[in-house]
Chain A
């Protein structure tokens, strides 16, 4: 049973437009959520996170939104740049429980110049 799901395997967006990547989770005990970016032949790199006590967190061009009632989070990238082309993973953890970080299957973003 997949506890963290990214239902869109791929997404293409024009440069300068908004990219929206979605993630759903099933475990109500998750209270910390992260987004990672991964280039080929490299390890994932941390992008942005959000605690369950917030519903929005911004860092430059990246904003993460959390809807706890829907068990849904999204990553917005505005404006999208060709260098943003990568695979994006969302992850979730229980900070006071099992401490497991569970990842989604990833969404491949392609930003077209």
Chain B
């Protein structure tokens, strides 16, 4: 029972490079979301999805793109990485958006040089 799987666990990028952070869940959850965690800032919502084909912006969406073509996968794309995007990224899922707890992956630690 894998739960929420994030890959990679660590990544170093140069400014301007692009990359995709992968997130997959095997619990048939409708709701998925991406957060970034920075010191003193808590977890800030980047983008979220209430089901396949439906995405919306969170608190800090600039510089990030998402898509949800399947229920299982919710990748996060950085089109042109900036040092300000150095952070730990967490993906989460929940059965529905109607008030259930989210299950989190173990995070991707991303450094932009």
Contact = CB atoms under 8 A, between A and B. Distances in A.
B73 interface: no
Question: What range describes how many residues of B lie at the interface?
Answer: 20 to 34
Contacts of A95: 97-99
Interface in B78-113: 90, 92, 97-99, 101-107
A105 interface: yes
User: How many A residues are at the interface, by size bracket?
Assistant: 20 to 34
Nearest to B6: A43
Contact of A99 (B48, B59, B101, B103): B48
Contacts of A102: 45, 59
A72 to B, nearest CB: 17
Contacts of A6: 42
A103 B99 contact: no
Contacts of A89: 42-43
A3 to B, nearest CB: 9
B58 interface: yes
Nearest to A51: B99
Contact of B42 (A32, A42, A93, A106): A106
Q: Considering the complex of A and B, which 6 residue pairs feature the smallest CB-CB distances, nearest first?
A: A43-B104, A105-B42, A99-B97, A46-B101, A95-B99, A103-B43
Interface of B: 4, 31, 33, 35, 40-45, 48, 50, 56, 58-59, 90, 92, 97-99, 101-107
